[in-house]
Amino acid sequence: MQRLGKNRGGYHGEVIAIEHVLRDTLALAHARGWSIESLRTANDRELPVLRRRPRESRGWSPRLYVSAGIHGDEPAGPLAARRLVETDPFPPNAFVWLCPCLNPSGFPRNTRESAEGVDLNRDYRHLRTPEVQAHVGWLQKQPMFDLTICLHEDWEAAGFYVYELNPAAQPSLAPAIVEAVRDVCPIDLSPEIDGRPAHQGIICPIIDPAVRPEWPEALYLVQHKTRLSYTMETPSDYDLTVRVTALEVAVRSAVQGLHLAPPEGTTGNDPTPPP
């Protein structure tokens, strides 16, 4: 499996028509019984949110959250979200919330930032942008999640890697995620990735949110909505089909690992948020 060699100073790979991808995703969700909500932003954009209730009721019902498309030059995320709706790898007794595209204005420009030139994934502390305001407003109405997953790409990466935020020191899902992805995509084995120490494609950053001036979505989630969060990063200098498959496999591994046993301190069966 060879790198394409297209990314020189930024992402120069395949692009997607996000409106068509989202239309297909929503059609699949509707056909498969997901509920569909649209978050209207103050700058008149729509952020779709999909929710799948448990297919069966037995014992513990994990609450799973997946997001994609917060960077407009990372097309594998929304495509993987569409495939997740189609293949439904989630445990049948799980509640699932899926945000398939958090930055719809970035994809037509093929830029990391929104149409206004703002990296939305750095706005989850100060909430200055209409998109993040709408997203956080929605998140605040949701229950706590047992697991959150953010789908990303990295145009500089030599292979797949994963960020783990696990402040409660729950059993790590990261090694199993990496091993599952290894069969479909190269793993970045660099000792340092994105300026942080890494081991076998896994980054476990030590973060003090109080002193970090800008928060990504994953940091907001682990501060307010979960105690276990994974950011999946595919290497965007490989073929797009490889990257989409890598994200799908990573999500499948994560949710199956969580499904094996309820982590200590999980949130139980009640899907309603606290008052």
* Amino acid identity for residue 105 in this structure: S
Task: Find the DSSP H helices in the chain.
Answer: 18-31, 76-87, 130-139, 174-182, 217-224, 240-259
Q: Which domains does the chain have, with CATH numbers?
A: 18-259 (3.40.630.10)
Res 58: pLDDT = 73
Phi-psi region of 85 (alpha: psi -120 to 50; beta: other; left: phi over 0): alpha
Paired residues of 17 in beta bridges: none
Q: Per residue in 70-111, pLDDT tens?
A: 999 999 999 999 999 999 999 999 999 999 999 999 999 999
Mean pLDDT confidence for 196-200: 96
* Amino acid identity for residue 137 in this structure: G
pTM, two decimals, is: 0.94
Which residue carries 């949701």 as its tokens?
A: 142
* Amino acid identity for residue 242 in this structure: V
Res 198: pLDDT = 97
Q: Per residue in 117-170, pLDDT tens?
A: 999 999 999 999 999 999 999 999 999 999 999 999 999 999 999 999 999 999
* Contact call for residues 268 and 60 (beta carbons, < 8 A): yes
Q: Per residue in 208-257, pLDDT tens?
A: 888 899 999 999 999 999 999 999 999 999 999 999 999 999 999 999 99
Res 59: pLDDT = 76
Closest C-alpha to 157, from 230, 248, 242, 262: 242
